[in-house]
Structures are given as C-alpha cells and as structure tokens.
Amino acid sequence: MDKINKETSSIINENQKWLQEKFPSCFVEGKLDF
C-alpha cells in the first residue's frame, strides 16, 4: 500500500512539473487557476 502511494505521488509530481512548465501562468501556489 505504501509503495503504491509513493509511486502514485511521484507520478503526480512528474505530471505537475510538466504542467507547470507547459502552463506556468495557470499555476498559483501549486493550484490550477483558470
């Protein structure tokens, strides 16, 4: 269970970094702001 959570959160972090690079203006304190 712990291992799955760590893997999932690392995937989410990777996606968030990618999104922040693609759409930096949409992010305010790590939250989407449209």
Q: Three-state SS for 27?
A: strand
Q: Is the pTM of this model over 0.95?
A: no
Query: pLDDT band at 1, cuts 50/70/90?
Result: low
Interstrand relation of 31-32 and 27-28 (parallel, antiparallel or unpaired): antiparallel
Segment 9-32, tens digit of pLDDT: 898 888 888 887 877 776 666 565
Residue 30, phi then psi, degrees to nearest 5: 80, 5
Provide the pLDDT for residue 5.
83
For residue 16, give the H/E element and its range: helix 2-22
